[in-house]
Copies of this chain bind each other. A is one copy, B any other.
Amino acid sequence: MEQKTPKSDLPTLEDVARAAGVSTATVSRTLNSPDQVSERTRQRVMATVRALRYSPNFGARALAAKRTNTYGAVIPTMENAIFARGLEAFQKVLVANGATMLVASSSYDPAIEEDQIRTMIARGADGILLIGAERDPEIYDFLKERHIPVVIAWTGTGVSALSCVGFDNQAAARELAARAIGLGHRRIAFISAFTQNNDRARDRVAGARAALDAAGLDPDAMPVLETKYSIQCGRDAFVELMNASPRPTLVMCGNDVLAAGAVRAAHELGLKVPADVSITGFDDIELATVIQPALTTVHVPHRQMGGLAAEVLLAQVRDNSAPQQVNLETYIVERASLAAPGFQPTVAAE
C-alpha cells in the first residue's frame, strides 16, 4: 500500500525518467544538451515528456543552474511611447533567444528605481536594462558586487565598465539648434523635462546652449522651463514663455509630447506655427506626425536601441563577452513646425 508520488502534483524529472526507463540525468541532458544523447533515447525521452506534459520546475532549475534566463528592465514609465517602443524591441530579441523579460517602472523616482533594481536582482535577473546613466554610485557597486551585467540605454556617455546602447543627446540637440540659428532664429526658449536625475534631459538643454554659444550668442540668455512629461504641461509652459517680451521666435522642446502641448497652446494664443513662432520636438514619435503642423524633431531609433540593448546584454551573460559601448545615429526630421522667423508659407512657395 505504498506509492511513490500520489500527490496529484505536476510530473517531475524523475517521473519522466522512470516512465522512459532512463536516469534523471539523461532526461535533463535530453532537455538541455540534446547532442549529448543518442538519437534513440532522445526520441523516447521526448515522447515521454510530451505524454506526461512535463515542464521543468523553474525554481529547481534556477537553483541548480544558477541562471534564470530572465532579464529585468527598469524604466521610468511604460506610458511613454519612447520607452514602450524600446521595451517591445528589447523583449522581442529576448524571446527570440529563449529568454523572458521582467519589467518595473520607477515613475522617474530614483528611490523607487533603486528599489526596483534590487527587486530585479532578488528575483534572479541574469541581466538588467537601465535608462540613463545617472544614479547613486552605490547602486552600481551593488550591481558589480553581484556580478549582474547591466546595459544602460538612452545615453551614449555611459558608466565606465558598463555596457551602454544610446545616442548623443547633446549633439543631437545642438545640431537642431544650430539649424534653427542658421535659419535666423536668435531668441530661442526651451521647454525641458525635469533635469534632476535625468541626464538625457540635461544633455538636450546643454546641446541647445552649445549651439547658441558656437554662434556667438549668449547661452545663458536662453529661458529654460522645466516641467512634467505631459501635453498639458507643455501647453502651460509655452504660454508662460510667450509672456516674455520680446517673445522668442523659436521654442525648442525636450520631447515631442511637450512640443505637442506647445503647438496646441500656440493655436489657442492665436499664433501661427511656424509663421509667428517655430516649435521643435525631440524623439520623433507618431504624435509628431499627427499634429498640425507636423513637428520638426530629432529622430531617435528607439526600437533599434531596445533590440541592441538586449543583444549586448545576452552576449555578456551567455558568452561572457566584454561590456560594449554602442552609439547610435540620430537625425533631424524636417517637417513643418520649424521655419525662418516670420516665414510666410505662400510667399515662400515662389
A interface residues, Cβ below 8 angstroms from B:
10, 53, 55-64, 66, 68, 70, 77-79, 81, 84-85, 87-88, 91-92, 95, 100-105, 116, 118-124, 142, 145-146, 231, 260, 264, 286-287, 289-292
Cβ–Cβ < 8 Å partners of A122 in chain B: 55-56, 58
Q: Given A88-B105, A104-B91, is A124 in contact with B287 using a C-beta cutoff of 8 Å?
A: no
Q: Given A55-B121, A264-B290, A291-B291, is A105 in contact with B79 using a C-beta cutoff of 8 Å?
A: no
Verify A62–B53 contact, CB threshold 8 A. Answer: no
Verify B231–A290 contact, CB threshold 8 A. Answer: yes
Distance A101 CA – B123 CA, assembled complex (angstroms): 10
Verify A59–B63 contact, CB threshold 8 A. Answer: yes
Verify B104–A101 contact, CB threshold 8 A. Answer: yes
Stoichiometry, copies per complex: 2
Verify A57–B53 contact, CB threshold 8 A. Answer: no
Q: Is the interface of A mostly helix, strand, loop or mixed?
A: helix
Verify B60–A59 contact, CB threshold 8 A. Answer: yes
Cβ–Cβ < 8 Å partners of A95 in chain B: 104, 116, 119
Q: Who on chain B is nearest to A263 by CB?
A: B290
Cβ–Cβ < 8 Å partners of A290 in chain B: 231, 260, 264, 287, 290-291
Other A-B pairs beyond A55-B122, A95-B104, 16, CB < 8 Å = A57-B63, A58-B59, A59-B59, A62-B63, A70-B102, A78-B85, A78-B88, A79-B85, A84-B84, A88-B105, A100-B104, A100-B120, A101-B102, A102-B102, A103-B103, A291-B291
Option from B64, B102, B231, B289 in Cβ contact (under 8 Å) with A289: B231
Q: Who on chain B is nearest to A145 by CB?
A: B53
Verify B68–A77 contact, CB threshold 8 A. Answer: no
Verify B68–A58 contact, CB threshold 8 A. Answer: yes
Looking at A56, A78, A95, which has the most chain B CB atoms within 10 Å of its CB?
Answer: A78
Distance A57 CA – B56 CA, assembled complex (angstroms): 18
Cβ–Cβ < 8 Å partners of A81 in chain B: 79, 81, 84
Distance A92 CA – B70 CA, assembled complex (angstroms): 20
Cβ–Cβ < 8 Å partners of A70 in chain B: 102, 123
Distance A84 CA – B75 CA, assembled complex (angstroms): 13
A228 CB to nearest B CB, Å:
14
Q: Given A59-B59, A79-B85, A85-B79, is A119 in contact with B103 using a C-beta cutoff of 8 Å?
A: no
Q: Who on chain B is nearest to A80 by CB?
A: B84
Q: Who on chain B is nearest to A77 by CB?
A: B88
Offer 5 A-B interface pairs, CB within 8 angstroms, sorted by A: A55-B121, A60-B63, A62-B63, A95-B104, A101-B104
A336 CB to nearest B CB, Å:
13
A194 CB to nearest B CB, Å:
19
A294 CB to nearest B CB, Å:
10
Cβ–Cβ < 8 Å partners of A102 in chain B: 70, 100-103
Distance A289 CA – B78 CA, assembled complex (angstroms): 20
Q: Who on chain B is nearest to A267 by CB?
A: B292
Cβ–Cβ < 8 Å partners of A292 in chain B: 292
Cβ–Cβ < 8 Å partners of A123 in chain B: 58, 68, 70, 100
Cβ–Cβ < 8 Å partners of A78 in chain B: 78, 84-85, 87-88, 91
8 closest Cβ pairs, A-B complex: A59-B62, A59-B63, A58-B124, A78-B88, A78-B84, A84-B84, A103-B103, A60-B63
